[in-house]
Amino acid sequence: MGNLRAGRRIAALTAITLAGVPVQWLALRLGLRPVYRALPVLFHRLVCRIIGVRVQVRGEPPGEGGALLVSNHISWVDITAISSVTPLSFIAKSEVAGWPVFGLFARLQRSIFIDRSRRTATAEVNATIAQRLADGDAMVLFAEGTTGEGLRVLPFRSALVGAVTALAGDRPVRLQPMSICYVRRTGLPVGRRLLPLIAWYGDMDLAPHLMELLRSGHVWEAVISFGEPLDPALPRKVATREAETFARESIRRARRDAA
């Protein structure tokens, strides 16, 4: 039964990918901003429905104007869950660009890739992010620098948060904390035993983790929380610490409410 379910889901995912990728590629080539911003949101909402992920939003997502969203990170599922809420792009490690399928999706969603092997990478990425923020884009930074097992929030790193202060001009840009957690599986609260089934971390291989989720008939409930924008004049280490505190507290509240 699990393999049959996975087969149906793969067929559905293939169908929406074949329909959506050419349209998104053409929209990017022609500079059709309303299309290339809206299409990934629709795509990821369909993906969430197909793979069994329900998303609850708390707080206000970024609206008009650039925003740097600073978040924790648990799983590859985070990308689809977050992308289903509002138009945005991600700041990702350079290796992601070469991943089969996922790398293509990341490029089509206008992700920015960080080459950690280059000493100048941070400065170059800051400048790129600053330009995107000036253009009114929302960018997601997973500030832990890696995925965690979902039981705790790892320390946030402050280096890339400085991208906001690199922005020139007087257009308002938000530095906004965000968090994601998985609180229920098929109606039951998610605890220490179930979290590893959705979390993707350490040396886990992506393909087996993905297939296990596709075979499962369970429905995961994700809570995505948006905090109030922070003062962009704050020193980056202070702002990063406040974003980390928001993530810890909002996740604690979401888990308590789901219990």
Phi-psi category of residue 40: left, alpha or beta, with phi > 0 → left and psi -120 to 50 → alpha: alpha
Evaluate whether 8 touches 49 at the Cβ level (below 8 Å).
no
Q: Which residue, 77, 44, 124, is CA-closest to 223?
A: 77
pTM for the whole structure: 0.91
Each residue of 68-111: pLDDT tens digit?
Answer: 899 999 988 999 999 999 999 998 888 888 888 889 999 999 99
Evaluate whether 199 touches 150 at the Cβ level (below 8 Å).
yes
Pairing of strands 188-189, 174-185: antiparallel
Q: How far apart are CA 129 and CA 91, in angstroms?
A: 9
Report the length, in residues, of the chain. Answer: 259
For residue 115, what pLDDT is reported?
Answer: 75
Q: Quick check: 165 pLDDT over 90?
A: no
CA distances (Å), 246 to each of 65, 84, 170, 240, 249, in order?
22, 22, 27, 10, 5
Looking at the chain, the whole-number percentage of residues with pLDDT higher than 70 is 89
CA 67 to chain centre: 14
Each residue of 103-143: pLDDT tens digit?
Answer: 999 999 999 988 766 666 667 777 788 788 888 899 999 98
